[in-house]
């Protein structure tokens, strides 16, 4: 405030040593005073109320001995003062020591002699002059109050030699008005608030400067859920094996794509309400491609392509029902149907998101192109939930379409794939799937549980499924599907799925779960 008031009247303060700080005992020019002033200057500077320049000076400060001399006089002066006038009985060296102390007597005697202040008389000393000027004390007093000596460098050097003063680097300042100069120090605002914006008070507020050096508050970023980490890892394996990811955004499918296209009989138990979630609004799908729909209906009802079919009446209603897909094979079927477009003589290149595979250059006349496709996405089943079952979970699915594939190709592909996932010991067991023949259940040896665990299901897709799509007879398609949750649980040592998925999931666990590498 003193600085601001001074600036208000003088506009600049040329020398901060001229400031008299009220309540401070040391003189304005002293080192301590300048330190205090510097603190104030910096705080005003941060508000841009002032600017200042620093000047370096070397000043002198008194040593404790110097301070004592300012108070009591120099040793020689005290020796002189202790002695009697000439003509009186002299004071012995012993008594002198008693009077002024050992140190002062020793140093002071010599200096007093040299200045001709005292004289020897008999065994003792007397005053040689009737009055003296204690220059040492005067000089030190001058130094103490002003920081300098008019007498100059020679006298200073002498006092330094006598260890009565010490040199000290000091600073003083020239102060100017700053951009935000004002005589009142407002507490600067640290935040721009809604209130300030609505009232307009921000226009008159001063804001504290940002400190870009300050450490920020640690932020918590997003974290991938363990299931998604495993998904990323599995996706990586597919990609390095040259697979393409299928679009699988269609959680809602029709009975046609989820079941009929896959030659799942319309009376199959999997289609029943207790296994599948059906939609009530809207409850029916748009009609599927009509020619293809006819062919699928025919193979179900009457057979064809060397099959006798199911020989049960076809239900449009069943086929058009909307449902939450029970497996990602619904998406695979739709992709395979697209893949076969050229074979059907359709020109839907622009629509076909399946790109040509490397080695697929031998496009033959029938328009078939080999494909390796995969998907990892969510499926829904009307399950009773328990420690290992959810109504919503993820399926991993791989599908390969090429000419003359065999079951050995399927097994070889699975061995390669699962080895990359860390499962070296596999077994396959014949199984039944409406859409594959032969079908294989996949088992992997679990080294910790020390038993074979079922990990998935696979097979060669049936001609009843592929032929209506338009694939040439030598084209075989095989595929397999596994759940994503099971390997994730094994990976993270979780034995209850509900600690991983659902409202009991701990966000902290999700954030802290390590990355997965198979
Ligand atoms: N869709 C099968 C399932 O839900 C998995 C599978 C995919 C089987 C592809 C064969 C071929 O278990």
Tell me: the pLDDT tens digits for 305-350?
A: 999 999 999 999 999 999 999 999 999 999 999 999 999 988 755 4
pLDDT confidence bin for 266, thresholds 50/70/90: very high
Inform me whether the pLDDT recorded for 362 exceeds 70. Answer: no
User: Which ligand 1 atom minimizes the distance to the CA of 398?
Assistant: 9
128 Cα–ligand 1 center, Å: 124
- pLDDT (average), residues 417-439: 94
Inform me whether the pLDDT recorded for 503 exceeds 90. Answer: no
Of 332, 393, 414, 481, best ligand 1 pocket probe by most atoms within 8 Å of the beta carbon: 481
Confidence at residue 28, expressed as pLDDT on a 0 to 100 scale: 66
Confidence at residue 98, expressed as pLDDT on a 0 to 100 scale: 86
Confidence at residue 350, expressed as pLDDT on a 0 to 100 scale: 44
Which residues have CB under 8 Å from 71's CB, separation 6+? Answer: none
What is the enclosing helix (H) or strand (E) of 410? helix 407-420
CATH code for the domain defined by 228-512:
3.30.930.10
259 Cα–ligand 1 center, Å: 12
Top-confidence range, 331-345, 440-454, 478-492: 331-345
CA-to-CA distance for 308 and 397, rounded, in angstroms?
A: 29
Q: Complex ipTM, two decimals?
A: 0.95
CA-to-CA distance for 251 and 394, rounded, in angstroms?
A: 11
Confidence at residue 154, expressed as pLDDT on a 0 to 100 scale: 86
Cis bond leading into 282, ω under 30°? Answer: yes
- pLDDT (average), residues 398-418: 96
pLDDT confidence bin for 395, thresholds 50/70/90: very high
Between 65 and 30, name the one with better pLDDT. 65
Confidence at residue 183, expressed as pLDDT on a 0 to 100 scale: 78
Which residues have CB under 8 Å from 103's CB, separation 6+? Answer: 75
Confidence at residue 518, expressed as pLDDT on a 0 to 100 scale: 76
454 Cα–ligand 1 center, Å: 13
pLDDT confidence bin for 482, thresholds 50/70/90: very high
Residues 360 and 369: beta-carbon distance below 8 Å: yes
- pLDDT (average), residues 290-305: 95
Lowest mean pLDDT among 326-335, 355-364, 430-439: 355-364
Strand stretches in 134-227, DSSP E: 165-177
Ligand 1 neighbours, Cβ below 6 Å, are 327, 329, 397, 433, 436, 457-459, 479-481
Tens of pLDDT, residue by residue over 203-250, are 888 788 788 888 888 877 888 899 999 999 999 999 999 999 999 999
Of 243, 325, 480, best ligand 1 pocket probe by most atoms within 8 Å of the beta carbon: 480
pLDDT confidence bin for 24, thresholds 50/70/90: low
Q: What is the dihedral of CA 30, 34, 37, 39, to 10 degrees?
A: -130
Mean pLDDT of the chain: 87
Lowest mean pLDDT among 89-103, 327-341, 395-409, 433-447: 89-103
337 Cα–ligand 1 center, Å: 17
506 Cα–ligand 1 center, Å: 31
Tens of pLDDT, residue by residue over 8-18, are 787 788 888 77
Confidence at residue 26, expressed as pLDDT on a 0 to 100 scale: 60
- pLDDT (average), residues 488-510: 85
320 Cα–ligand 1 center, Å: 22
Confidence at residue 310, expressed as pLDDT on a 0 to 100 scale: 95
pLDDT confidence bin for 352, thresholds 50/70/90: very low
DSSP letter string, 435-492: TEEEEEEEEEEETTTTEEEEEEEEEEEPHHHHHHHT--TTEEEEEEEEESHHHHHHHH
pLDDT confidence bin for 351, thresholds 50/70/90: very low
Strands 371-380 and 244-245: parallel
pLDDT confidence bin for 361, thresholds 50/70/90: very low
Parse the chain into domains and list their residue ranges.
1-74+134-208, 75-133, 228-512
* One fold for 1-74+134-208 and 228-512: no
Inform me whether the pLDDT recorded for 353 exceeds 60. Answer: no
284 Cα–ligand 1 center, Å: 25
Inform me whether the pLDDT recorded for 363 exceeds 80. Answer: no
- pLDDT (average), residues 423-441: 95
CA-to-CA distance for 262 and 463, rounded, in angstroms?
A: 10
Confidence at residue 384, expressed as pLDDT on a 0 to 100 scale: 87
Between 24 and 202, name the one with better pLDDT. 202
pLDDT confidence bin for 5, thresholds 50/70/90: confident
User: Which ligand 1 atom minimizes the distance to the CA of 436?
Assistant: 10
- pLDDT (average), residues 351-355: 48
User: How is domain 1-74+134-208 classified at the architecture level of CATH?
Assistant: 2-Layer Sandwich (3.30)
pLDDT confidence bin for 274, thresholds 50/70/90: confident
**Nearest Cα residue to atom 10 of ligand 1:** 458
Which residues have CB under 8 Å from 447's CB, separation 6+? Answer: none
Whole-angstrom distance between the N-terminal and C-terminal Cα of the chain?
A: 69
User: Which ligand 1 atom minimizes the distance to the CA of 456?
Assistant: 12
- pLDDT (average), residues 139-151: 82
- pLDDT (average), residues 504-513: 84
Inform me whether the pLDDT recorded for 508 exceeds 70. Answer: yes
- pLDDT (average), residues 413-434: 93
């Amino acid at each position: 405030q003193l600085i601001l008031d001074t600036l208000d009247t003088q506009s600049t303060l040329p020398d901060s040593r001229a400031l008299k700080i009220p309540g401070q005992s040391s003189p304005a020019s002293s080192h301590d005073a300048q330190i205090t002033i510097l603190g104030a200057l910096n705080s005003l500077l941060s508000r841009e109320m002032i600017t200042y320049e620093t000047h370096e000076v070397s000043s002198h400060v008194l040593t404790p001995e110097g301070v004592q001399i300012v108070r009591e006089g120099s040793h020689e002066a005290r020796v002189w003062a202790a002695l009697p006038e000439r003509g009186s009985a002299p004071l012995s060296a012993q008594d002198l020591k008693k009077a002024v102390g050992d140190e002062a007597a020793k140093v002071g005697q010599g200096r007093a002699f040299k200045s001709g202040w005292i004289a020897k008389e008999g065994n003792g000393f007397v005053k040689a002059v009737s009055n003296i000027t204690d220059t040492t004390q005067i000089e030190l007093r001058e130094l103490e109050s002003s920081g300098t000596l008019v007498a100059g460098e020679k006298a200073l050097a002498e006092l330094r030699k006598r260890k009565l003063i010490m040199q000290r680097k000091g600073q003083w300042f020239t102060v100017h008005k700053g951009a935000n100069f004002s005589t009142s120090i407002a507490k600067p605002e640290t935040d721009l608030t809604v209130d300030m914006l609505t009232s307009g008070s921000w226009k008159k507020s001063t804001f504290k400067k940002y400190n870009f050096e300050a450490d920020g508050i640690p932020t918590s970023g997003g974290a991938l859920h363990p299931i998604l980490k495993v998904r990323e890892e599995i996706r990586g394996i597919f990609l390095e094996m040259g697979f393409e990811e299928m679009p699988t955004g269609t959680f809602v499918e029709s009975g046609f794509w989820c079941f009929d296209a896959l030659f799942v009989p319309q009376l199959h138990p999997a289609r029943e309400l207790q296994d599948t979630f059906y939609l009530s609004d809207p409850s029916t799908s748009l009609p599927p491609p009509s020619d293809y729909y006819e062919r699928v209906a025919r193979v179900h009802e009457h057979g064809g392509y060397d099959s006798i079919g199911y020989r049960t009446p076809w239900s449009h209603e069943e086929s058009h029902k909307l449902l939450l897909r029970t497996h990602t094979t619904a998406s695979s079927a739709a992709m395979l149907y697209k893949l076969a477009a050229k074979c059907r003589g359709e020109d839907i290149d622009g629509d076909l998101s399946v790109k040509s595979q490397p080695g697929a250059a031998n496009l033959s006349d029938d328009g078939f192109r080999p494909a390796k496709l995969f998907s990892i996405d969510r499926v829904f089943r009307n399950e009773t939930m328990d420690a290992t079952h959810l109504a919503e979970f993820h399926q991993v699915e791989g599908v390969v379409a090429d000419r003359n594939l065999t079951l050995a190709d399927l097994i070889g592909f699975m061995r390669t794939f699962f080895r990359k996932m860390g499962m070296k010991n596999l077994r396959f067991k014949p199984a039944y799937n409406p859409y594959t023949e032969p079908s294989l259940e996949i088992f992997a040896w679990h080294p910790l549980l020390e038993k074979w665990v079922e990990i998935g299901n696979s097979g060669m897709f049936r001609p009843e499924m592929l032929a209506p799509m338009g694939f040439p007879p030598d084209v075989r398609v095989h595929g397999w599907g596994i759940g994503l949750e099971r390997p994730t649980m094994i990976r993270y040592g979780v034995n209850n799925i509900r600690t991983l998925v659902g409202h009991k999931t701990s966000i902290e666990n999700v954030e802290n779960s390590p990355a997965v590498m198979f």
